[in-house]
Amino acid sequence: MNNLPKLSAVPPRSAMPDAMIRLEHVSKTFPGSAAPAVRDLSLEVPEGEIVVLVGPSGCGKTTTLKMINRIIEPTAGDIWVAGVNAIATEPHVLRRQIGYVIQQTGLFPHRTVAQNVATVPRLLGWDRPSIDDRVVELIELVGLEPEMADRYPAELSGGQQQRVGVARALAADPPVLLMDEPFGAVDPIIRARLQVELLGLQAQVRKTIVFVTHDIDEAIQLGDQVAILNVGGVLEQIGTPEDLLREPANEFVAEFLGTDRGLKRLSLIPVHALDLDPGPVVAPGASKQESLVVAERYEVDWVAVESGGELLGWLYLAELENGRVPAADLRPFRTRLAATATLKEALNAIVTSRAKAAAVFDDDRYLGMLTADRISDEITQ
């Protein structure tokens, strides 16, 4: 392989300009093994997206990832990274353009945090001031304290080490990032924080990321697209988390996504994605008759009171007696749901509220009412 020309002059076969990484009919059979670890896999990763490879052990997800930077050499097929034929590129040249984060961090124990982060720029021969500036920038970017720069990896916590790993992978500003179960070894609380941080980071740096995990929840949370692999490197389905959860292609995918597929979907959809109904709302001073009609339409035994875009509260029809709807002494909506909340949070608010409904607000502006039925409709449509 190494005596091939550095860069291929041959353009990609099925050139799609926005595919940053493309695998074409890639297979890998390890020596001494009869069955291939990955069989005829084709996959495209669009620029700036996170594609998560997920599946049970033995599904070849890590093998697939490591073929992209040729830590593992494919036995057949083509791999293109940023328009360059990866197979025809010298491995060390290829790898310096690909950030690489692994579960055990692989930080150099004999180098300080700053030296670790500076690794690839040094390999690329950057000058000293540029490296120093970049290191400072990255340590801040991944949320580490500046004084950690001079520590050794053994002096950091697991979460901090993993942040250094990410900073090191981003150091030379590579277009592509490969992450192999990067948060697999940290405890659940830190993992959840690192996941959120990664999304925040990605919003800033917009890298093309291939992320391997065995945790379907992590895949759903992080992936713009999720590729579900089966044993032997068979791609069962690839799509947005929403697509997968709504329409699993087969039994395997459905089972892998879990029996709480519906609930998982809820956590993906923000409340503002729904057309919100105002709900059983009346103005202060409305008559009992008027209130009854409104409540009946929604098949509830209560009404909410709204005045000029402000939600004052709610009351049971039984509490109306014979008078008109008051403007004060109403039951408050305890759960004020933000429009950015997920349907899962909304459902939680609904099932814990006495009115069995959640009032949705955009800051102080009342947007509408959400009920369990409405959410169910959304999921089953």
**Binding stretches for other proteins (CB under 8 A):** 69, 71, 91-96, 98, 100, 102-111, 119-120, 123, 151-152, 154-157, 168-169, 178
| Nearest-angstrom CA–CA distance, 58 and 198 | 26
- Closest distance between other proteins and the C-beta of residue 37, in Å? 17
| Nearest-angstrom CA–CA distance, 258 and 253 | 9
Cβ proximity to other proteins: between 161 and 221 the closer is 161
- Closest distance between other proteins and the C-beta of residue 91, in Å? 8
Cβ proximity to other proteins: between 17 and 31 the closer is 31
- Closest distance between other proteins and the C-beta of residue 92, in Å? 4
- Closest distance between other proteins and the C-beta of residue 164, in Å? 11
* Phi, psi dihedral angles at 352 (to 5 degrees): -100, 5
- Three-class secondary structure of residue 268 per DSSP: coil
**What residues contact residue 50 under an 8 Å CB cut-off, 6+ apart?**
202, 209, 211, 222, 223, 224, 225
Residue 145 in tokens: 């304290």
- Three-class secondary structure of residue 143 per DSSP: coil
Measured from the Cβ of residue 143, the count of other Cβ atoms closer than 10 Å reads: 16
Listing from the earlier edge strand, what are the strands of the sheet with 336-338?
336-338, 357-362, 365-371
Cβ proximity to other proteins: between 30 and 301 the closer is 30
- Closest distance between other proteins and the C-beta of residue 114, in Å? 13
Cβ proximity to other proteins: between 126 and 252 the closer is 126
